[in-house]
Each structure stands twice: as C-alpha cells, then as structure tokens.
Structure 1
Amino acid sequence: MTIMSALLLGCNKDIIDIAPIENNTADAFYQNEIEVKQAIVGVYARLGRNGTNTDFATDYYWLASENRSDLLYLVEGTSAQNDQLELRKYLISPNSGTVSSIFGRLYSLIKDANSLLYRTKEGEYTRYRAEARFMRAFAYFELLRSFGPVALVTAPIENKDAIALPREDPKVIYAQIISDLEFAAANLDKFYTGADAGRVGSVAANALLGQVYMTMAGFPSNDASAYPKAETVYAGIIADVDARFNPDYSKIFILANENKNDIFSIQFASGGNNTGSSLPGYITSSPSSGSPFPEWTYATYNLQGQDVRVDTMLVNRMKASGDKRLMASIDTGYWSSTNVATRSWVTRNIVTKFLEKDNTNTRIKAWNDFPRNFPIIRPADVYLYYAEALIVNGKAGAAKPYIDKLRQRAGLAALTAGPTIDDIKEERKKEFIGEGRRFFDLVRWGQASAISTLSSFAQHYHSRTNGQLPTAKDLLLPIPQNELNTRNNWNQNPDY
C-alpha cells in the first residue's frame, strides 16, 4: 500500500489512530469536546516525534531544506546516513527514506485533519475545525513547494479511490489552502496562552496566508497578482505581530520565552516521553558515544548527523559588521573537555540556537529529547515578507521601518536609503540561520538565480565530496518511489 493511500484511509475503522485513546473506531470517536480536542492535539503531534526517532523539523527544515541551501556546507570525509549525505550532495533518489518520511508525515496530518472535519458538523467545535483546516493548509503548502503537484483530498477516502487520484493542478491546491486559512483566520482568537500556548491562532493563519501569497508570486507560479494580496493580509495583522516582537534577538530562542515571541512553532519538551526535539543531534558529527560539546551537554550525549557547518564567508561578513544575530545563532567553536588543564579549543562554525547548553541537565534523556520549540513563523517572517511585498508594490519607503527594526535589533545601522529586494535577501539570510527558510527563498526568487547561487556554493565547498552540481530537478524533491509503484497516472518529477 502506498504511503498516501494508507494514511488517507480515515474512514477505515481499523486504521484511524487518534492517540492516546486506544481501541476507539473512527465512527465511535468525536462524540464530545474532549475527544475532538484530543483529535486536534493528535494532528499537531504529527509534526513532533510521533513514535519515531526524528521529528518533522529535523527531517524537513534541517535535512531536506537548510542542508541543501547555501548556508550550510558538508566537511569532506564525514560519515553519516546515506540520505543525509545525498540530500546535501544533490544525489537524493526516489528511494530515500527521509523523503518518504516527509511525504508520509504530511499526508498523515492531512488524514487526521480530514477525519476531524468529516466527523464534526459545521457550526460545532468551530475552533477545533479551524485549527484542523490551518494544519491541513500548512501540510498542503509544504507538499506543494517541496514535491510540486500532489493529490488533493479533503475527506476520508478508500484505498482504491486514493491510488486513482491524479496530481492536482497547483492552482486548485492553492485555492484550497487559501480557503482553509481564511476560515481559520475568521474563527480563531488572535493568540492562545496558558494551557493552550502553542496552539495556532488567527494571526498565525493570516501570517501563513501571506506567506502562501508571497510563494505564489514567485517561481514557479509567478503570479504577480499575489503581491498586493500579501500586502493586504500583512497590513491587517502587523500591529498584533509587533506585540510578539522581542527587541533582543538572543532572547528569542530561550526556553523562558517559548510561545511568547513566535507566531507558530512546533512544540517540544524533554523528559523521555517521546516529545523532545531531535534537531540538536544533527548539528555536527561525533563518535558513536560521548559528547563533542562537553562544556554544554551531558556526558552520554551523542550526535546522529554529518559534519555540517555554517558558510564561513557569511560568518566572516557578520563578524565584520558586528551582527548580533551571529553569536545568538551559531558558535564558532567549543572546548574539547571540561578539564581546564588539558582541554583544547575546537574551531567550528555550527548552528547551536536549538541546543540546550547545560551539561548538568538531567531532564534531557537522549540525543532526541531536547526541549527547544522549532519556529515556523515568527515576527521577523512577517516583517520581511511584508517589506518585500511593499517594495515590489512600489512602496519601498513604507517597507524601510520593518527592515530597520530587524537591523537595529542586530546592532546594525538603519538603512540610509529606501530598501531594495537585495536588502531583503541579505536580511533573510542572516535572520533565519538554521531555521529552514533559505532554500525556499532561493527557489521563489527564481529558477535561474537559485541554481546559480546553489551551484556556486557547491563548487566552493563541495568540489571534492563526490556530489554533483544542482540543476532544475533539485528545486523539488522526488516523489517517493513507493507512491509510484502502485500508480499508473503519476509521473516522477523531471530527471529523477
């Protein structure tokens, strides 16, 4: 059975799996608010560990996105799981387990959202239905920009029908995404706090809607009419976004401020309950046991990833300008031991903004049990997307305050003239180090420029790592081969 068809069988009583309730069929579930609330929490859980060793942020935003951008490079001679290396070297195949996992996670989220929406009525449980529609829109948005056209399903479906579905026109998928986000924006509170902190609100729905429009405006849709739509959406939420802006960049990622300075993030917690983040485990390579960062992490910590480091040229440029975002996002080295007499300094530019630097922490139980949330949308996203839309729409003067706000927080001077798209590109690259934004930015800014930028980077850092230079095919991931094996109406993405 294909990943998608298996996951979309929401109407099959034997397959629905709303945790943590056991032995409930789909038809017997969704009978009261407690069950519906459990169901929507289960939808969110699809982005976490969800019974696996890694979480969605690690697989998707780090390995399959940031790892393929011009922010991170692979050190020659490193060793790691094949998928990780092949993604960085542009050698990934349709048989990749990581790619299959990403595809499967997103469709399992859609399946769960569809089940909730199908089995609850319009006019009841409106908040939970709105959250489900937000999450479904999010999943389709990520599928579309990473895999291209996919099957569109908005209700539970039988296997025989699922495998017959075509790859839908992106315009149709975008229309569904927009409809879902508009519904969510109209039926959620702006933000949720207390026990509901981390749940999406209307500001998150509108922020994602604006991002959808900005993506539609770029490659490959190239829909210029989307720019003014994005501007309008962002103008409506900018005051609420301001309320979440932290003037100290170094304080954004600390545990004490989680769900206070972001708009939508994947939630994680330590404690050995399968709810921790695996992302810090992929910072850089290490022995199979023991910590490469003894001053920061407990003795039994070990890493799973290859030796991936931050672009040295970018680091040097940020150092020269005194950009405060540099040291808040990465470290340029670490001590090899806690023994002051024998330790040595290891020079290495690595992303550490999600690493909990506390070698006395006994709550963290494993390499994939870190507590830091992963931000999907934060105020800087809105500021820079909004500024970009304003510039394209001929309102550079109105865009300047939003760029200056980020620059001044970073310890940089305000711009001396009206901002350009090049200013946007530079700020986005520095602002979101390690957060999985850069690859998608390059793609939407144009096919030719994306390939040129990625190729130049690969030539500079990877000339001896047995990889290949990226081509147009590498701007999308391959459709998993196990999806194609049972279909006769889907073609693989070109050149895979």
Structure 2
Amino acid sequence: MKKIHFPQAYTLTLTALLTALVGCKSLEENPASFVTPENFYTSKAQVEAAFASSMNNLWSAWDGYSYGFGPFVNDDQIYGGDLNISISQGDGLWKAHYEALLNLNNPISAIKKGNLRGVDDATVKQLLAQAKFLRAFNYFMLVRMFGGVPLLTEETPNTAQLQVPRAPAKEVYALIVSDLTEAAANLPKTWPAAQKARPTSAAAKGLLAKVYLTMATAPLNDVSYYQKAADMALQVMQEGTYSLVPKVEEVFSLANKYGPEMMFSFNSSDDDLATDPQIWAPGVMGGWGDFSANPIWERTYPAGPRKAAYLITEYNGVPYTKWPGNQAAYIRKYLNISTADFNSYRSTSNIPILRFADVLLIFAEAENMAKGAPTQAAVDAVNRVIDRANGNVANPARPRLTTALSKDAFDKAVIEERNLELCFEYDRWFDLVRKRMLKDVNPEWTANFSEDDYLFPIPEADLRMNSLLEQNPGYPTPARN
C-alpha cells in the first residue's frame, strides 16, 4: 500500500489515515464492537497517524498556515492592512487549532491509560513527548491570537455539546509550560534521517524560551520570565545541535529545510505539497501576487545581502516601482525552488515555526531585559544574526550593536532585528502584540486603532454553540438560541 507523507515527517498508511479521519468508528454496518477515541489508539502507528492528522489540520495546500497570512494582514509587513479587525478575523485558525487538539488529546488519553500494546516504556515516553510538544504549540498560537481560550485536554469529556468557559491566559500558559517541559525532557536530541522533521529536545527548549519571553511581555507582563527565557535559550545555544546557516542566501534553500538552522517547521514534501508557489511571486514573474510587502515597510528595510535574499524588489533589472499592477515588493523566502517546479505549480518549501536565529534573538532580548543593560553575551548573540545578514562585511545601513546602548535602545534594536530577520514567518504580528507596538508601526491607520485590536474576536459560531464563551472586548456577541 502506498504511503502518504504528512507534515513533520509523520507517515501512515491510507487505511490508518481513513480510520483516524472518520472519528475512530468502525466502518462495518453491524460492528461486533464499538471503537471509541478512548480505546482506538493501541499501536505506535495509530498514535503517529494522529500526529500527522493534527499537523495536516494546520498545514495543507490553500489552507491553514500554508495560506494563512490573511489574519495577520494588519501588521506592518504585509500589504493591505488598515487596522480594521473583522468579526471573522482568525476564525479558520481557531477551527484548525481545535481540530488539531482533538487529534492530540485522544492519543494522549490512550497513552496515559496504558492502551498501547507491544510498545516499550522509552517509546511511550517519546510518543507522549511529541504529543505534548504539538499540543503546547497549538495552545501557544491560540492564546496569543485570542487571549484566554477553552482549555481542552485529555481529561475533557469528548462530547459534541461541550460547554466550556474560557480559561484565563495564565492557566493556558501554565499548560503550555508544563507540556514543553515534559517534551524537552523526553524528546531525542536528533531523529533518524527519515524522521528528521520531528520535534527535538532543543526545539522544545527553544519554543519554551519563546513562551517565557512572551509571558514576560504583554499581556501577562511578568518580568521574572525574562531570566527564564534567557536561560532556556542559552541551553539551546550551548547544546550545539543547531546553528546559523553561514550564508544568508542559503537559509531558505531546499537543501537546508531540515537544518542546521530550521528547528521546527510546517513541512512540505513531494507527496504533500505547499500552496502553489505563484502566491509569493509578482505578475511580472508569472506569479499571482497573493501576498506582498507593505511598501512603507519595505522602504525602511536596510539594503544588503539579506534584503536581496528575503525580498523580491526587482526583476530583470526593473524595480517594483515600475512594474504594472500592484507596485510592491514580494517574498523570496519561499521561492527557492526550481523553475520547473514553479512552472508546474509545485512547492516543497517549508515555513519555519522556530529557527536558531530566533533563539539567538530571544536570548539577546531576554538577557538585556533581565540584566537591565545589554551584556556582551546579548550583544554577541544578536550580532551573529546581523553579521550573517550583511555577508560578514560592515554595513552602515545595518551596523552591529554594542554594549554602549541603553537597555531600552538595545531592546528596540533587537525587536527591529526580529522584524528584519523573521519577516513573513508568522512572528511580526505576535511581536507587535506582546510589545504593544501595533499603533506605533501603523501611523497611517491610527484613526482605526483600538486597544481591542490586540486580540482577535472569538468566532461567532462557537459563541452561539457554547453558552459559557465570552467575546473579547470591542467585538459584538451574536444572539444565542
């Protein structure tokens, strides 16, 4: 039977996939027994099928994060935002994440109940660690988009009429921290080549560092987490499993999609393609130009090797300001594919969830804030990213940072470096939210700005079905039956 390849290199046979997708019920007309989510998962393959399905909820052609910049169009990088947050903003991602969580909580429950057969204890711990990593990632995305959300775990009753209130954001973060701590302790340092896209212990630590940094900033603003973020990021840096790709032009090459810099990604393969690559390219290149860079943002991006590697600002010597149609720069990061693949509407590019460059910048930000001034270690970390961006040549347009900067000036410079290095990787919106910068970077839309914009609205359909849900401030609550 042909194998189908899913995101994060979890693979399963077609029979296993169909079984997982029909809700784990027997397909016999008169079943001898009823298979429930509670007792379905009895093998490693079945559990890994659930992991594959959970990631497929988030990443598939024309869906999820493979085509998901729309909800984040109101940052300052993506062209088309105006700080008018629609009532349906983020609805698709809310649905995708909760579907993914269902595909994780059921196997977690089965593992904890001891339902797996013929699986040694070490493998059981590893499977549970993968599930906890994926669950933590889903809740981390949800809590940053929507604030406190219904907290569904393996202990939540599995019923279609579930009535669950929103847990405070602090409780959601507590589960995220617990899950990632367990994942970091039990995931392997590396995986075999056929499974190399799966999360590692360092990826769990890196994501936990990002969680701690977020907890130190808005809305929780618990500054004690700065030191925890710095310590966790430093562990990843010192471990040595991951490193920067030496040349900025090769960061997003297909040869490097699984390392040494990519720690965890939304993964594409020949059997599970990303959305057609034409979405990233302008019409002059034969693309459709679905997503382009805000010209105001692009004009402030420092000239140098990184800008040429990450953005499309000219084609055949003609700058974008002279292109017909939408005169904006486009995104080169996800176009490192062959001409033949582009012309065939095929892309196996990944979008990163966590890169080593991100970990370096997390450390630099957290170390500076925890110590009250930029330490040499913090300066060295951010300068590794800046040096690579400049091709290891001095660049007045983006100079190296020094310990002479004040705490606030250094913090501002690190956030700007995140803006430049991690552009179009689903990071900018969340940085603007946690640093409360949304109004500052959108001066042309200040009349549309409200503090309520820092959260997306809870989807109307869920508010109608779940009487215990409460809407976020500034958005209407629909009439309930």
Kindly tell me: are residues 169 and 243 of structure 1, through their superposed partners in 2, closer, same or farther at Cα, counting changes over 3 Å? Answer: closer
Q: CA deviation at 1:138?
A: 0.6
Structure 1 residues 401-427: Cα deviation after superposition (integer angstroms, max 9, x where no partner) = 111111111124533444511210221
Distance 1:304 1:404 in 2: 33
Q: 1:354 aligns with which of 334, 353, 356?
A: 334
Q: 2:419 aligns with which of 423, 429, 439?
A: 429
Question: How is 1:41-440 mapped onto 2 (pairs within 5 angstroms)?
Answer: 41-49=52-60, 53-59=62-68, 62-65=69-72, 67-74=73-80, 88-95=81-88, 99-121=90-112, 123=121, 125-155=124-154, 157-159=157-159, 162=162, 164-240=163-239, 243-260=242-259, 261-270=261-270, 273=271, 275-278=272-275, 280-283=277-280, 292-294=284-286, 303=288, 305=290, 308-312=292-296, 314-319=298-303, 323-335=304-316, 348-361=328-341, 365-366=344-345, 369-394=346-371, 396-397=374-375, 398-411=377-390, 412=395, 413-419=399-405, 420-440=410-430
Which residue type is aligned with residue 43 of structure 2?
N
Distance 1:70 1:91 in 2: 13
Higher alpha-carbon deviation: 21-30 or 122-131: 21-30
Which residue type is aligned with residue 165 of structure 1?
V
Counterpart of 1:125 in 2: which secondary structure?
A: helix
Aligned residue in 2 for 1:289? none
Distance 2:175 2:255 in 1: 37
Structure 1 residues 368-416: Cα deviation after superposition (integer angstroms, max 9, x where no partner) = x421011011011100110111101125222011111111111245334
Distance 1:325 1:44 in 2: 30
Contact 2:20 2:49 in 1 (8 A): no
Q: Percent identity?
A: 27
Counterpart of 1:452 in 2: which secondary structure?
A: coil
Aligned residue in 1 for 2:118? none
Higher alpha-carbon deviation: 212-221 or 229-238: 229-238
Distance 2:225 2:338 in 1: 45
Gaps of 5+ in 2: 1-17, 28-34, 115-120, 476-481
Which residue type is aligned with residue 262 of structure 1?
M
Distance 2:238 2:104 in 1: 30
Q: CA deviation at 1:30?
A: 1.9
Contact 1:265 1:374 in 2 (8 A): yes
Aligned residue in 1 for 2:42? 31
TM-score normalised by length of structure 1: 0.78
Q: CA deviation at 1:197?
A: 1.1
With CA pairs under 8 Å and 6+ residues apart, which has the higher RCO, 1 or 2?
1
Aligned residue in 1 for 2:9? none
Distance 2:49 2:159 in 1: 26
Higher alpha-carbon deviation: 371-380 or 387-396: 387-396
Structure 1 residues 47-93: Cα deviation after superposition (integer angstroms, max 9, x where no partner) = 221xx63232421xx2222x22112233xxxxxxxxxxxxx233343
Contact 2:219 2:434 in 1 (8 A): yes
Kindly tell me: are residues 194 and 357 of structure 1, through their superposed partners in 2, closer, same or farther at Cα, counting changes over 3 Å? Answer: closer
Contact 2:24 2:37 in 1 (8 A): no
Question: How is 1:475-490 mapped onto 2 (pairs within 5 angstroms)?
Answer: 475-490=454-469
Contact 1:217 1:223 in 2 (8 A): yes
Which residue type is aligned with residue 305 of structure 1?
D
Aligned residue in 2 for 1:299? none
Distance 1:361 1:130 in 2: 36
Kindly tell me: are residues 328 and 310 of structure 1, through their superposed partners in 2, closer, same or farther at Cα, counting changes over 3 Å? Answer: farther
Which residue type is aligned with residue 189 of structure 2?
K
Higher alpha-carbon deviation: 172-181 or 417-426: 417-426
Kindly tell me: are residues 279 and 390 of structure 1, through their superposed partners in 2, closer, same or farther at Cα, counting changes over 3 Å? Answer: farther
Counterpart of 1:375 in 2: which secondary structure?
A: strand
Kindly tell me: are residues 16 and 483 of structure 1, through their superposed partners in 2, closer, same or farther at Cα, counting changes over 3 Å? Answer: farther
Q: CA deviation at 1:282?
A: 3.6
Aligned residue in 2 for 1:17? 21
Distance 1:235 1:41 in 2: 31
Distance 1:191 1:475 in 2: 37
Which residue type is aligned with residue 421 of structure 1?
D
Distance 1:44 1:247 in 2: 30
Contact 2:20 2:50 in 1 (8 A): no
Distance 1:396 1:414 in 2: 13
Distance 1:431 1:325 in 2: 8
Gaps of 5+ in 1: 1-13, 75-87, 287-291, 295-301, 338-343, 460-467
Contact 1:70 1:457 in 2 (8 A): no
TM-score normalised by length of structure 2: 0.80
